[in-house]
Amino acid sequence: MLKLLIFGSCASRDAVEYATPESIELVDYFARSSFSSLTSKADLDSGALSKIKSDFQRSMVHRDMSKTFWKVLKQENFDLFLVDLIDERFAIIQNSNGALHTLSNEYATARNNQTEGIIYPATSIEKFVLWQKGWNKTVSILRKQNALHKLVVNRVYWASKDSQGNDLLDTKASLIKVANIQLDRMYDYITEHDSDVTFLTYPRGMLTADVEHKWGVAPFHYQQQTYVHTLKQLQRIKRCPQKRPTKNDGPS
């Protein structure tokens, strides 16, 4: 049984759906959150939280605000810690108390276009500096716990085509390109500063959007074969942690 902690998005979480029940235990899952927001103190926007009807969505936003992640990471109740950076597509907002929150779709809707707060766009240098700080703190904690070998980065990208070979018409090509440039910026930083970190990689052409995905067509809703490939790599890393996947070529 592989005990898996995920910080990221459905790009990683959906793979668990294709695992046999006895092969993987999902210890915890943090979504709708950026490493950038983890660098500040905890601070709850109770008014916005009360407006989020979905229990799951409200929980994800609450955990981003409360910085619950640090407690879970330090407990180290997992075999592998899987990270993907798809949710770094969200901006960061700094409120009047200096606290940072991920401006996820759910939180942005709940705020109802409030003007209070400083917004750092996903592509801004300010957000990238904060992201570096949050990432470095994560690595530092794992290193102190002699658990850095458990960290695995899911090197995924936004797909530009769907599983039928068509362009994703609902997502502008320029937006996909910018998102993938930002992902590579972060992957390059990790590679340069933390050479011991393991990456999950994918053959060219595998990262395509599934037209029949249960959550709908999106650049990070992949086909079943992608998630099966993810699972195979995770199981191989658990069995032979010294054998790391090779770097993939980049966006498909």
Residue 209 DSSP label: B
pLDDT confidence band for 252 (50 / 70 / 90): low
User: Per CATH, the architecture of 2-239 is what?
Assistant: 3-Layer(aba) Sandwich (3.40)
Hunting for tokens 């070998």 — which residue is that?
149
Contact yes or no for 131/186 (Cβ under 8 A)? yes
For residues 42-47, average pLDDT = 94
Q: What is the structure's pLDDT at 16?
A: 96
pLDDT band, very low/low/confident/very high, at 236 (cuts 50, 70, 90): very high
Distance CA 227, CA 19 (A): 9
pLDDT value of position 194: 87
| Average pLDDT of the residues of the chain | 92
User: What's the residue count for the chain?
Assistant: 252
Alpha-carbon span 126 to 228, nearest angstrom: 36
Angle CA 249–32–42, to nearest 5: 125
**What is the per-residue pLDDT across 53-105, written as a single tens digit (0 to 9) for each?**
999 999 999 999 999 999 999 998 999 999 999 999 999 999 988 999 999 99
222: helix, strand or coil: strand
Q: What is the pLDDT of residue 222?
A: 97
Closest of 147, 157, 168 to residue 217, by C-alpha: 168
pLDDT confidence tier of residue 9, bands split at 50, 70 and 90: very high
Name the more confident of 114 and 188.
188
The 10s digit of each residue's pLDDT in 162-194 is 899 888 877 888 899 999 999 999 999 999 998
Would the pLDDT of 249 be above 60?
no
197 Rama class: left (phi>0) / alpha (psi -120 to 50) / beta: beta
Strands 118-120 and 91-94: antiparallel
Cβ neighbours, 10 Å, residue 90:
23
Q: What mean pLDDT do residues 127-149 have?
A: 96
DSSP string, 103-154: E-HHHHHHHTT---SEEE-TTSHHHHHHHHHHHHHHHHHHHHTT-GGGEEEE
140-149, 208-217, 233-242: the lowest-pLDDT one = 233-242
pLDDT of 2 over the 60 cut: yes
Distance separating alpha carbons of residues 131 and 238, to the nearest angstrom:
28
Q: How confident is the model at residue 116 (pLDDT cuts 50, 70, 90)?
A: confident
Handedness of CA 82, 45, 92, 129 (dihedral sign): negative
Instruction: Look up the pTM and report it.
Output: 0.93
Average pLDDT, integer, range 227-240: 92
pLDDT of residue 241 exceeding 70: no
Per residue in 49-61, pLDDT (tens digit) is 999 999 999 999 9
Other Cβ atoms closer than 10 A to 115: 6
